[in-house]
Amino acid sequence: MRKYFKNRKGFTLVELMMVIAVIGILAAVLVPKMGFMKDSAKETGLEANVRMVEATVNSMIVKYNSSTIWHASNNGYLNTDLKAKLNGNLTNPFSNKKDAVIGNGSTTGQPAVVIFNGAYSAWTGTYSGVAGATVCALSEDNGKIKAEIFYIDKDGKAASNQFVKTVE
């Protein structure tokens, strides 16, 4: 009998089933946590994009006044110069697109940055076409340029006020 066990190679069926059961339990515990970590990382990416746009606006805003905030296409205006500066430099974590566009809530294609003529308060509702985008809402307030920077979450909703960065 001793000779039989010494010459035996491999695992028994019971041993293999135990290993498979342990692997299954580990997978059942770890897979849902990985999905949460992935979403959490994407949201952190959105917050980093907001800070990057805020820094860019801070560096550029001193060159403009309330009459040079917005123009549909001409260079020399804050919105068009901001678009040129940000285009290709940030990534939408949900679509992996790097484009900056001048638009609004009806913009589609999930760009990285949307530069909007108006205030943050105009962004109500759901905007699935810009999910994951960082929005820079440019407006004029008592002769000063006001830039409100926020992101649209994965569900297409504008971030709550706690995430809005205002640059004046």
Average pLDDT over every residue of 26-52: 81
Q: Please count the other Cβ atoms lying within 10 Å of the Cβ belonging to residue 52.
A: 17
Domain ranges of the chain: 13-167
Q: At how many degrees (to 10) do helices 13-60 and 78-86 cross?
A: 150
pLDDT at 108: 80
Please say if the pLDDT value at position 138 is more than 90: no
Please say if the pLDDT value at position 101 is more than 60: yes
How confident is residue 20, by pLDDT bands cut at 50, 70 and 90?
very high
pLDDT at 166: 64
User: Rounded CA gap, 100 and 56, in Å?
Assistant: 13
Beta bridge partners of 117: 138
Contacts 24+ apart (CB under 8 A), 42-45: 42/93, 42/94, 42/132, 42/154, 43/153, 43/154, 45/91, 45/93
Please say if the pLDDT value at position 76 is more than 90: no
Please say if the pLDDT value at position 154 is more than 90: no
How many residues are there in the chain?
Answer: 168
Return the higher-pLDDT residue of 60 and 30.
60
Mean pLDDT of the chain: 81
Return the higher-pLDDT residue of 88 and 160.
88
pLDDT at 19: 92
